Amino acid sequence: MSEFKVAPANASAGVKLLTWVDNRFPASKLWKEHLSEYYAPKNFNFWYFFGSLALLVLVIQIVTGIFLVMHYKPDAAQAFASVEYIMRDVPWGWLVRYMHSTGASAFFVVVYLHMFRGFLYGSYRKPRELVWIFGCAIFLCLMGEAFMGYLLPWGQMSYWGAQVIVNLFSAIPVVGPELSLMIRGDYVVSDATLNRFFSFHVIAIPLILLGLVVAHVIALHEVGSNNPDGIEIKDKKDARGVPLDGIPFHPYYSVHDLLGVVTFLILFSAVVFFAPEMGGYFLESNNFIPADSLKTPPHIAPVWYFTPFYSMLRATTDDMLKVFDVLVIVAAGLALLKGRFSGLAKAVIVVATLVVLTGFGLFKFTGIGALSGCDAKFWGVLVMGGSVVILFFMPWLDQSPVKSIRYRPDWHKAVYAVFVVVFLILGYLGIEPPDPLKTAISQVGTVLYFAFFLLMPWWSQMGTFKPVPDRVVFHAH
Amino acid sequence: MKRFIASLLVAFSLAAPAFAQEGGPAWDKFPTERLTDQAALQHGAKLFVNYCLNCHQAAYMRYNRLHDIGLTDDQIKSNLLFAGDKVGDLMKTSLAPQDAKAFFGTVPPDLSVITRSRSGPNGSGADYLYTYLRSFYRDETRPTGWNNRVFPNVGMPHVLWELQGTQRAVFEDEKGEGEQVEHVFKGLKLETPGTLSTADYNADVADLVAYLQWMSEPAQNDRVKLGVEVLIFLAIFWVISWRLNAAYWKDVR
Residue B177, classified by CB atoms within 10 Å of its CB into exposed (0-12), middle (13-18) or buried (19+), is exposed
Share of chain A above pLDDT 90, in %: 90
Q: Which of A108, A85, A86 is nearest to A95 (CA)?
A: A86
Residues B216-252 have pLDDT tens digits of 999 999 999 999 999 999 999 999 999 999 999 998 8
CA distance B49 to B144: 22
pLDDT on residue B15: 43
Contact A421 B7 (CB under 8 A): yes
pLDDT on residue B19: 39
More confident residue, B21 or B219: B219
Angstroms from A94 CA to nearest CA on chain B: 7
Residue A253: CB atoms within 10 A of its CB come to 25
DSSP labels for B47-90? HIIIIITTT--EEEEEGGGGGGGT--HHHHHHHT--S---TTSE
Radius of gyration of chain B (CA): 24
Binning pLDDT at 50, 70 and 90, where does residue B23 land? low
| Through-space distance between the first and last CA atoms of chain B, rounded to whole angstroms | 25
pLDDT on residue A1: 56
Q: Evaluate if residue B40 carries a pLDDT over 70.
A: yes
Quote the mean pLDDT of chain B: 88
Q: Which whole-number Å values give the CA distances from B191 to A469, B138, B169, B183, B185, in the listed order?
A: 83, 9, 10, 20, 16
pLDDT on residue B159: 94
pLDDT on residue A141: 97
**A43, A472 Cβ separation under 8 angstroms:** yes
| ipTM metric | 0.91
Average pLDDT over residues B82-106: 87
CA distance B245 to B243: 5
Contact A289 B109 (CB under 8 A): yes
The B residues from 31 to 70 touching A (CB cutoff 8 Å) are 59-62, 65
pTM, rounded to two decimals: 0.92
The B residues from 119 to 178 touching A (CB cutoff 8 Å) are 119-120, 125
**A347, A337 Cβ separation under 8 angstroms:** no
A79 touches chain B (CB under 8 A): no
Average pLDDT over residues B104-116: 94
pLDDT on residue B6: 53
A36 touches chain B (CB under 8 A): no
Contact B116 A432 (CB under 8 A): no
Please name the residues in contact with A139: beta carbons below 8 A apart, sequence gap of 6 or more: A111, A115, A388, A391
Angstroms from A72 CA to nearest CA on chain B: 14
Binning pLDDT at 50, 70 and 90, where does residue A339 land? confident
- Helix, strand, or coil (residue A237): strand
Residues B200-217 have pLDDT tens digits of 999 999 999 999 999 999
Q: Evaluate if residue A226 carries a pLDDT over 90.
A: yes
Residues B111-151 have pLDDT tens digits of 999 999 999 888 999 999 999 999 999 999 999 999 999 99
Element (H, E) at A16: helix A13-22
pLDDT on residue B14: 44
A24 touches chain B (CB under 8 A): no
Share of chain A above pLDDT 70, in %: 99
